[in-house]
């Protein structure tokens, strides 16, 4: 079932479920906690993966007494790029844009949170055998209601922290003229190019 969640979110999004569209007579419509609602708005649809990320973020943050990160005092390492990661970003304040979210492409529901400056953290990994429900809403309800220690292995860890995000100068590309972060400039024949222009030239 873990695989099913990951695969499900990678399909073309032809069958988005939004809350107002859920059949009102369904007896299995999940009860949505108030702090999950803004995450569903952010993500755009309501799905099991998102709920899994919500629970993982909650479990991890509680364990290390972390507050939502304003700058980079909290970092998150995520081992997949499924729907769950949107909940991780929203809850922890560790985001792609801020540079304190680190993606490892391992295809695993493993989420590590850690605090600067010491790297004191927690590793939250999904246990393999918990999901039995076929029905999507029943599955969501199960993920929402199951005890977190049945859902996850939660371990205290101390990790080596990735370096802080840095701000770099921009320099214009010699071909298209667009400003480019200096560390991404490619040199050829004494001129500096952005990566797309460099690739076109060579
Ligand atoms: Zn989703
Ligand atoms: Zn260019």
Same domain, 105 and 50: yes
Same domain, 54 and 111: yes
Q: Beta strand 191-193 with 186-188: parallel, antiparallel or unpaired?
A: antiparallel
Which ligand approaches the C-alpha of residue 81 most closely? 1
Q: What is the pLDDT of residue 150?
A: 93
Same domain, 189 and 116: no
Same domain, 86 and 152: yes
pLDDT tens digits for the chain (202 residues)?
A: 444 454 344 444 433 333 334 444 445 677 899 999 999 999 999 999 999 999 999 999 999 998 888 888 999 999 999 999 999 999 999 999 999 999 999 999 999 999 999 999 999 999 976 677 778 899 999 999 999 999 999 999 999 988 887 889 999 999 999 999 999 999 999 999 999 999 996 5
Same domain, 129 and 194: no
Q: Is residue 81 part of a domain?
A: yes
**Any idea how long the chain is?**
202
Q: What is the pLDDT of residue 54?
A: 98
Same domain, 89 and 122: yes
Same domain, 119 and 191: no
Domain containing 109 equals 2-23+34-158
Ligand 2 centroid, distance to 199 Cα (angstroms): 10
Q: How far is residue 187 from each of residues 171, 172, 176, 193, measured CA to CA in Å?
A: 12, 12, 14, 6
Q: Is residue 125 part of a domain?
A: yes
Same domain, 96 and 143: yes
Ligand 1 centroid, distance to 67 Cα (angstroms): 24
Which ligand approaches the C-alpha of residue 54 most closely? 1
Ligand 2 centroid, distance to 165 Cα (angstroms): 24
Q: What is the pLDDT of residue 12?
A: 42
Same domain, 188 and 106: no
Same domain, 93 and 40: yes
Domains contained in the chain, number: 2
Q: What is the pLDDT of residue 163?
A: 81
* CATH code of the domain containing 102: 3.30.1330.130
Same domain, 111 and 181: no
Q: Is residue 28 part of a domain?
A: no
Which ligand approaches the C-alpha of residue 173 most closely? 2
Q: What is the pLDDT of residue 15?
A: 36
Ligand 1 centroid, distance to 37 Cα (angstroms): 13
| Pairwise CA distance, residues 185 & 176, whole Å | 12
Which ligand approaches the C-alpha of residue 191 most closely? 2
Q: What is the pLDDT of residue 148?
A: 95
Same domain, 80 and 9: yes
Ligand 1 centroid, distance to 165 Cα (angstroms): 28
Which ligand approaches the C-alpha of residue 44 most closely? 1
Q: What is the pLDDT of residue 130?
A: 62
Q: Which residue has the tokens 């560390």?
A: 183
Q: What is the pLDDT of residue 176?
A: 96
Q: Is residue 164 part of a domain?
A: no
């Amino acid at each position: 079932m873990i695989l099913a969640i990951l695969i499900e979110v990678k399909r073309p999004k032809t069958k988005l479920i939004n809350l107002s569209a859920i059949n009102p007579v369904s007896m299995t419509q999940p009860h949505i906690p108030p702090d999950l609602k803004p995450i569903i708005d952010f993500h755009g649809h309501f799905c099991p993966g998102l709920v899994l990320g919500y629970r993982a973020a909650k479990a991890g943050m509680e364990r290390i007494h972390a507050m939502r990160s304003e700058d980079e005092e909290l970092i998150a390492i995520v081992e997949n790029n499924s729907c769950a990661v949107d909940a991780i970003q929203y809850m922890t304040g560790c985001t792609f844009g801020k540079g304190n979210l680190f993606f490892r492409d391992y295809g695993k529901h493993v989420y590590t949170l850690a605090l600067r400056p010491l790297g004191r953290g927690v590793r939250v990994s999904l246990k393999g055998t918990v999901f039995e429900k076929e029905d999507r809403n029943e599955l969501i309800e199960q993920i929402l209601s199951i005890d977190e220690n049945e859902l996850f292995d939660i371990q205290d860890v101390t990790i080596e922290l990735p370096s802080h995000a840095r701000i770099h100068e921009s320099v214009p590309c010699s071909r298209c003229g667009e400003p480019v972060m200096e560390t991404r400039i490619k040199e050829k024949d004494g001129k500096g190019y952005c990566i797309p222009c460099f690739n076109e030239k060579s």
